[in-house]
Amino acid sequence: MTDITKRSLLQAAALSALAATALVGCGRSEPPAPAPGQAPTAAAPAAPAPAPAPQKLKIAFAYVGPVGDGGWTFAHDNGRKAVEKEFGDKVETSFVENVPESADAERVIRDMAANGNKLIFGTTFGYMEPMLKVAGDHKDVRFEHATGYKTADNLRTYDSRTYEGAYMAGVIAGKMSKTGTLGVVGSIPIPEVVRNINSFTLGAQSVNPKIKTRVVWVGKWFDPPKETEAATSLINGGADVLMQNTDSSAVLQTAEKMGKRAFGWDSDMTAYGPKAHLGSAVINWAPYYTKAVREALDGSWKGGQQAWWGVKEGAIDMVSVAADVPEDTKKRIDEVRAGLKDGSFAIWKGPIRDNTGKEVLAKDQVADDKFLGGVNFYVAGVEGKVPGGEKK
Amino acid sequence: MESYALLLAATLNAGTVLAIAALGLLVNEKAGIVNLGAEGMMLCAALAGFATVVHTGSDALGFVAGAAAGALLAAVFGLLVIWLNTNQYATGLALSLFGAGFSAFAGTGYVQAKLPERAQFSIPVLGDLPLVGPALFRQHPMVYAAIALALGLVWFLYRSRAGLVLRSVGESPESAHALGYPVRRIRLLAVVAGGALCGLAGAYLAVIYTPLWVEGMVAGRGWIALALTTFATWRPARVLLGAYLFGGVTMLQFHLQGAGVEVASQFLTMLPYVATIVVLALISRNPAWIRVNMPASLGKPFHPGS
């Protein structure tokens, strides 16, 4: 069929209509349009042209998941909202959701820079190389990369000490577990996640030295049905308290369904499993985001830095602890929190052995950030081996 | 022993979504139509089912809504490929892309929503048996429905007149047309039925299996279902077994991990597709096999009177 017929025109029209609809709603920008009722009507007299407003700082956020994941991306978006609230009309923020950790990321971030954003946040590890590349081409734009380790003159990294939240969850889990077996649904075996599994186990062993932890890896950050299957498998294997380092609430919901206990991760997830929920290890990005924006506004922003914030800076906390957690355990959580705040308590303090019996930290030796950044072993009490994972 | 019973139960549950969707695709492939839109239909149906349960509190209505959403999208696809003779593969891909985008866009209001609590389902007496009870008789009714559906399809396709007509339309639409059967209408019906079953599978996923809505939550299960129909060489009973096999592989991998045996999850994720390619290679080498199993006019457009 070479000649253009009515049929092929119809085909083309139908297919392009499908494609166009699929593309709608990919990007969104705040602030939203004025609410109906406030929209100027054609009959309204034309207002005189206002004086040019002072230049707003345009800020863009690239998210790896949907804002509605109730976890990781949701927490970042709460940070963005805090920036809006703090700086009001001095800033204009926008975000793009579901930016995959692939060549697409570079395209999206390049677009953001080209559209006049002067401060760009990329909120997942996989944006590291794309951001580095775009930062090289846009020297007048400031870039902030979450969880990465490469910096440039106009690119710096920030991260949160999620393992502090994991440790506090562990303290509760060690107290509440009846079987003595904990389960963790892991995403991808990078040091960050392995460190969280270990810290969770160390916390649990601080109240019950006999605790064992089982780990199941799903190989993804976000796949709710798979997270459900992994959680089911852990419960079937005898674990009665679960934690997860994945981005949805599926693990907590599975525990709720099967009458076991679990934690919220990244955001407060109480609502997703009120009976199963023991507490939520939350990340609060607001302190860092407001600091970064303030520096961008007053000109003191500098690239090349690496921030790693935790309980001390107000970036990590354990919230909504369940009512049936004993008082002495709640008190212990308060002590840990206070100790992390004033620096009197360290989670990673020797003697710590890995699960093959090798001593990784000698007695009274405290791990530095370099050590923590390269954790690729399980501590004693965690079963199995770390999958031949990537090293940072 | 106990843990194997639970593993079996989890496997049956994991295979159910795949089985229902793949059986639906089997119906429309038997009629000669390949619908690559399964993933998109399942996503839209998952959202429709979930949203319906949020508003009405009724699982049954959620399943109906999911099936209706799948049927509706399949009907649009059917009109395009059957009456306008668009390329089936391209149109199906467009439907998958559309379904993913549209469900994400329309579902933004439901991402934080929660479904009401449900009691654990159990068949009286049988569910209380030791070992066998937890393994086989405490599943959601949909798990048994999937098995009944496979058996029903075996009867329909190979024992009923209507099934014979459906197969003839997929084998040789020209002959069926010459005998006076409305080929295009039969194909449309088959496509709509396939869409409805994909929709039912999507709704089961979001309402029962993982009771939440997040965009992209079908996470490739539509594509696995498509691979499954080929892997099972278009036989309903084999589709059912294949679904439990693919569902079981995932559960087994987690079970092994928990027991300290290491298997790369990426390798297992790849398995269904590799298995499908192997089967395709096998049946394309053996003409006898193709004649027996693959609908001869699969994917080919039909112009009456041409």
Parse chain A into domains and list their residue ranges. Answer: 57-161+286-312, 162-283+314-372
DSSP per-residue letters across B18-80: HHHHHHHHHHHHHTT---TTHHHHHHHHHHHHHHHHHHH--HHHHHHHHHHHHHHHHHHHHII
Q: How far apart are CA B265 and CA B290, in angstroms?
A: 33
pLDDT band at B292 (very low <50, low <70, confident <90, very high): low
Percentage of chain B surpassing pLDDT 90? 55
| pLDDT surpassing 70 at residue B214 | yes
pLDDT band at A25 (very low <50, low <70, confident <90, very high): very low
Write down the pLDDT at residue A52: 56
Q: How far apart are CA B275 and CA B280, in angstroms?
A: 9
Q: How far apart are CA A59 and CA A212, in angstroms?
A: 45
pLDDT band at B162 (very low <50, low <70, confident <90, very high): very high
Report the pLDDT averaged over residues B253-262. 75
DSSP state of A88: G
Count the neighbouring beta carbons within 10 Å of the beta carbon of residue A319.
15
Q: Does some domain include residue B306? A: no
Q: How far apart are CA B279 and CA B59, in angstroms?
A: 37
Interchain pair A225, B205: CB under 8 A = yes
- Written as one letter, the residue type at A280 is S
DSSP state of A313: G
Encode pLDDT of A100-110 as tens digits: 888 899 999 99
For the stretch A104-138, what's the b/e string if a residue is b when 16 or more beta carbons lie within 10 angstroms of its beta carbon?
Answer: ebbebbeebbeeebbbbbbbbbbbbebbbebbeeb
User: In this structure, are residues A293 and A59 in contact, taking their beta carbons and an 8 Å threshold?
Assistant: yes
User: Which residues does residue A370 pair with via DSSP β-bridges, in sequence order?
Assistant: none
Residue of B158, B177, B180 whose CA lies nearest to B169: B177
| pLDDT surpassing 70 at residue A39 | no
Q: How far apart are CA B44 and CA A157, in angstroms?
A: 38
Does the predicted model carry a pTM greater than 0.85?
no
Interchain pair A21, B221: CB under 8 A = no
Write down the pLDDT at residue A28: 40
| pLDDT surpassing 80 at residue A167 | yes
Write down the pLDDT at residue A24: 41
- Judged by DSSP in three states, A314 sits in coil
Write down the pLDDT at residue A70: 74
Structure tokens at A296: 């961008």
Structure tokens at A237: 């294997």
Residue A73 touches chain B, beta carbons under 8 Å: no
> Please, which residues 53-92 of chain B have a Cβ atom closer than 8 Å to chain A?
80, 84-86, 90-91
Choose from B83, B89, B214, B306 for mutation: most chain A CBs within 10 A: B214
Closest partner residue to B250 (CB to CB) among A18, A215, A229 is A229
Choose from B4, B17, B254, B263 for mutation: most chain A CBs within 10 A: B254
Write down the pLDDT at residue A51: 53
DSSP state of A152: B
Interchain pair A15, B257: CB under 8 A = no
pLDDT band at B124 (very low <50, low <70, confident <90, very high): confident
In angstroms, the first-to-last Cα distance of chain A is 55
DSSP state of A121: E
Residue A232 touches chain B, beta carbons under 8 Å: yes
Percentage of chain A surpassing pLDDT 70? 85
* Exposed/middle/buried for residue A9 (C-beta within 10 Å: 0-12, 13-18, 19+): exposed
| pLDDT surpassing 50 at residue B29 | yes
Please tell me which residue of chain A has the smallest CA distance to B110: A68
User: In this structure, are residues B65 and B12 in contact, taking their beta carbons and an 8 Å threshold?
Assistant: no
Residue A242 touches chain B, beta carbons under 8 Å: no
Write down the pLDDT at residue B291: 60
Show the domain range for B65. Answer: 2-293
Interchain pair B104, A272: CB under 8 A = no
Question: Which residues of chain B make contact with A237, given a CB cutoff of 8 A?
Answer: 3, 255, 258-259
Q: How many independent structural domains does chain B possess?
A: 1
Structure tokens at B241: 């077994």
Q: Does some domain include residue B118? A: yes
Write down the pLDDT at residue A35: 41
How many Cβ pairs closer than 8 A exist between chain A and B? 141
Q: Does some domain include residue B303? A: no
- Written as one letter, the residue type at A268 is D
Give residue for tokens 């399942």.
B42
- CATH fold for domain A57-161+286-312: Rossmann fold (3.40.50)
User: At what angle are helices B236-258 and B221-231 packed, to 10 degrees?
Assistant: 130
Structure tokens at A281: 């290890």
Residue of A64, A40, A216, A57 whose CA lies nearest to A131: A64
Give the CATH H-level superfamily of domain A162-283+314-372.
Response regulator (3.40.50.2300)
Q: Does some domain include residue B67? A: yes
User: Which residues does residue A185 pair with via DSSP β-bridges, in sequence order?
Assistant: A216, A244
Residue of A389, A204, A203, A191 whose CA lies nearest to A308: A191
Please tell me which residue of chain B has the smallest CA distance to A14: B80
Interchain pair A224, B108: CB under 8 A = no
Interchain pair B7, A236: CB under 8 A = yes
User: In this structure, are residues A288 and A156 in contact, taking their beta carbons and an 8 Å threshold?
Assistant: no
User: In this structure, are residues A88 and A290 in contact, taking their beta carbons and an 8 Å threshold?
Assistant: no
Q: How far apart are CA B70 and CA B95, in angstroms?
A: 11
Please tell me which of A37-41, B214-218, B267-271 the model is most confident about, judged by mean pLDDT: B214-218
Give residue for tokens 């562990």.
A170
Question: Which residues of chain A make contact with B14, given a CB cutoff of 8 A?
Answer: 229
Report the pLDDT averaged over residues A150-177. 96
Q: How far apart are CA B254 and CA B270, in angstroms?
A: 16
| pLDDT surpassing 90 at residue B210 | no
Interchain pair A98, B215: CB under 8 A = yes
Encode pLDDT of B67-113 as tens digits: 999 999 999 999 999 999 999 999 999 999 999 999 988 988 887 77
Encode pLDDT of A330-345 as tens digits: 999 999 999 999 999 9
Q: How far apart are CA A67 and CA B104, in angstroms?
A: 11
What angle is formed at CA B247 by the lines to CA B245 and CA B248, rounded to 5 degrees? 60
Q: In the Cβ-directed half-sphere of B233, how many Cα atoms lie within 13 Å? A: 14
User: In this structure, are residues B223 and B38 in contact, taking their beta carbons and an 8 Å threshold?
Assistant: yes
Domain holding B168: CATH number?
1.10.3470
Report the pLDDT averaged over residues A212-235. 90
Count the neighbouring beta carbons within 10 Å of the beta carbon of residue A34.
9
| pLDDT surpassing 80 at residue A23 | no
pLDDT band at A22 (very low <50, low <70, confident <90, very high): very low
Interchain pair B254, A230: CB under 8 A = yes
Residue of A221, A226, A250, A282 whose CA lies nearest to B114: A250
User: In this structure, are residues B131 and B5 in contact, taking their beta carbons and an 8 Å threshold?
Assistant: yes
Choose from A1, A226, A268 for mutation: most chain B CBs within 10 A: A226
Please tell me which of A124-128, B192-196, B251-255 the model is most confident about, judged by mean pLDDT: B192-196
- Residues 6 or more apart whose Cβ sits within 8 Å of residue A9: none
DSSP per-residue letters across B194-223: HHHHHHHHHHHIIIIIS-S--TTTTTTHHH
Write down the pLDDT at residue B1: 67
DSSP per-residue letters across B64-108: HHHHHHHHHHHHHHHIIIIIS---HHHHHHHHHHHHHHHHHHHTG
- HEC letters along A268-303: CCHHHCCCCEEEEEEECCHHHHHHHHHHHHHCCCCC
Interchain pair A223, B219: CB under 8 A = yes
- Judged by DSSP in three states, A325 sits in coil
For the stretch B215-254, what's the b/e string if a residue is b when 16 or more beta carbons lie within 10 angstroms of its beta carbon?
Answer: bbbbbbbbbbbbbbbbbbbbbbebbbbbbbbbbbbbbbbb
Q: How far apart are CA A256 and CA B212, in angstroms?
A: 13
Write down the pLDDT at residue B204: 96
β-strand pairing of A352-353 with A359-361 = antiparallel
Interchain pair B258, A225: CB under 8 A = no
Question: Which residues of chain B make contact with A30, given a CB cutoff of 8 A?
Answer: none
Encode pLDDT of A366-390 as tens digits: 999 999 988 999 999 999 888 874 4
Interchain pair A98, B216: CB under 8 A = yes
Interchain pair B210, A250: CB under 8 A = yes
Q: How far apart are CA A252 and CA B140, in angstroms?
A: 20
Q: Does some domain include residue B13? A: yes
**SS3 helix, strand, coil % of chain A, rounded to 5?**
40, 20, 40
Question: Which residues of chain A make contact with B259, given a CB cutoff of 8 A?
Answer: 237
Q: Does some domain include residue B211? A: yes
Tell whether the torsion through CA atoms of B133, B268, B272 and B91 is positive or negative.
positive
Structure tokens at A232: 């089911």
Write down the pLDDT at residue A389: 46
β-strand pairing of A119-122 with A57-62 = parallel
User: A162-283+314-372: same fold as A57-161+286-312?
Assistant: yes
Alpha helices in chain A (DSSP H): 6-23, 72-87, 103-114, 128-137, 162-176, 191-207, 224-236, 250-257, 286-298, 327-342, 369-372
Question: Which residues of chain A make contact with B203, given a CB cutoff of 8 A?
Answer: none
Count the neighbouring beta carbons within 10 Å of the beta carbon of residue A57.
18
Residue of A56, A58, A98, A57 whose CA lies nearest to A77: A98
> Please, which residues 229-258 of chain B have a Cβ atom closer than 8 Å to chain A?
250-251, 254-255, 257-258
